[in-house]
Amino acid sequence: MIGYPNKKRTMVQNNVRDNYMGRGMSLEDDLNKSNAYYMEMKRALIHKKPIPIQIVKVDYPQRSSAKIVEAYYKTPSTTDYNGIYRGKAIDFEAKETKSKTSFPFKNFHPHQIKHLEQVLYHGGIGFVIIRFSYYDETYLIDAKFMIDAYYHYEKKSIPYETIKNNGSFIRQGLTPRLAYLDNVDECYFKEDDNNESKTEKIK
Amino acid sequence: MIGYPNKKRTMVQNNVRDNYMGRGMSLEDDLNKSNAYYMEMKRALIHKKPIPIQIVKVDYPQRSSAKIVEAYYKTPSTTDYNGIYRGKAIDFEAKETKSKTSFPFKNFHPHQIKHLEQVLYHGGIGFVIIRFSYYDETYLIDAKFMIDAYYHYEKKSIPYETIKNNGSFIRQGLTPRLAYLDNVDECYFKEDDNNESKTEKIK
């Protein structure tokens, strides 16, 4: 194996070898890599939030380094991803399920749904990215649709077919792994883009 | 000492006793309380991001509970606070200094400055909140001003007087502790607000 001087390049190599076209990678990993790509291309500024943790005890074996020796996971009070795209605040949660038939609501914490409601109230773009890992299919679902389903469905899950029919299918590739901003363009900026191309024609 | 059954209550008790009107509270605590207030009043949706941590080892003493027993602090790649206000993406960093004379740039990680540059590039509102704890004075400084100073100042700090003259003084009170969204209105929405009142007059 060739020792590349540059870590990034080695990573790409491994990904190509192990996970051709993204298959088998976790949704989180795909999104992180897609966001890094979008950031580098200056298309958007979107980050995953760190996992919230309650730190109880920290040791300082050396002056410079701190070692956390007791800590616990906290329940997140927001979604995992947020940032800025085309001047708009963007906020979303990503979940994957192994189920072949439906997406269970229990994948959400209730305050994540509450948080998405607040995102919409304050004028942000909110959605959920759901992957059915059995089919290796990933969909963008508008937050409003998901919130309504969460509160009003009688069953504790959304059927796969409903996601398929109401979601926007996200194309998978190499760079970016998940071209989900194309779906965001399609779902939230279509009118702007149409107006822009009209304006260009008039010019 | 009385053993309160509830940790939170003990903390609140201490706060009231030690920190009447916010004096002596940490800037982070003041901002978290202000953000909670703004969220409850539905004025804005702004959260502090969790501290990024590299988790190395987790124990599962019981089926339900996970205990992190080895973890380390990671360098943050973004600012600490972000969210949505009046439909716009908002992003800022908060720092306090004990210095009476200047704010040292070393308080920033270089990628936090980089991140603020990206926030502006993508059309978000970016700024820095700086507290001089000696004077108990807190200022909002526009990201553009701070980025320019960071790259072009010959000294390794900004004089207190410069912050005072170029920053927007943040009023402190009980609810919210730091009324910093009034400063955001003044610095970033003044034109909109003027236009709105003009429109109202025309009606």
> CB of A72 within 8 Å of any CB in chain B?
yes
Please list the residues that pair with B195 across neighbouring strands. Answer: none
Q: How far is A70 from chain B (nearest CA, A)?
A: 5
Token pair in block for residue B18: 């030690």
What domains can be seen in chain B, in order of their start residue?
A: 19-50+76-198 (3.40.1350.10)
Alpha carbons within 13 A on the beta-carbon side of B8:
0
CA-CA distance, B200 to B51, in Å (whole number)? Answer: 45
What is the residue type of A167? Answer: G
> What pLDDT shows up at residue A6?
45
- Is B122's CB within 8 Å of A84's CB? yes
How many residue contacts between A and B have a Cβ separation below 8 Å?
Answer: 116
Locate the chain A residue with the closest alpha carbon to B85: A122
CA-CA distance, A117 to A111, in Å (whole number)? Answer: 9
Reported for A53-62, long-range contacts at CB under 8 A and 24+ positions apart, including other chains, are A53/B50, A53/B51, A53/B53, A53/B55, A53/B68, A53/B71, A55/B51, A55/B53
> What pLDDT shows up at residue B2?
42
Residue scoring higher pLDDT (B44 or A77): B44
Residues in chain A: 203
Residue B16 has pLDDT above 90, yes or no: no
Residue B63 has pLDDT above 90, yes or no: no
Residue B126 has pLDDT above 90, yes or no: yes
- Average pLDDT of chain B, as a whole number: 87
Contact list in B for residue A53 (CB cut-off 8 A) is 50-51, 53, 55, 68, 71
Those residues of chain A that have pLDDT short of 50 are 1-22, 203
> What pLDDT shows up at residue A61?
78
- Is B118's CB within 8 Å of A78's CB? no
Q: Which of A138, A175, A181, A179 is nearest to A16 (CA)?
A: A175
| Global confidence as pTM | 0.84
pLDDT over 70 percentage in chain B: 84
Residue B8 has pLDDT above 60, yes or no: no
Contact list in A for residue B143 (CB cut-off 8 A) is none
> CB of A42 within 8 Å of any CB in chain B?
yes
Q: What is the largest CA-CA distance in chain B?
A: 68
- Average pLDDT of chain A, as a whole number: 87
| Class of residue B148 by CB neighbours under 10 A (exposed 0-12, middle 13-18, buried 19+) | exposed
> What pLDDT shows up at residue A202?
52
Across A60-123, where does the E strand assignment appear?
67-73, 81-85, 88-97, 102-104
> What pLDDT shows up at residue A104?
96
> CB of A71 within 8 Å of any CB in chain B?
yes
Contact list in A for residue B115 (CB cut-off 8 A) is 45
What sign results for the dihedral spanned by CA atoms A166, A142, B120, A8?
A: negative
Q: How far is A45 from chain B (nearest CA, A)?
A: 7
DSSP A172: B
The per-residue pLDDT for range B130-187, each reduced to its tens digit, is 999 999 999 999 999 999 999 999 999 999 999 999 999 999 999 999 999 999 999 9
Report yes or no: A182 and A128 within 8 Å, Cβ to Cβ.
no
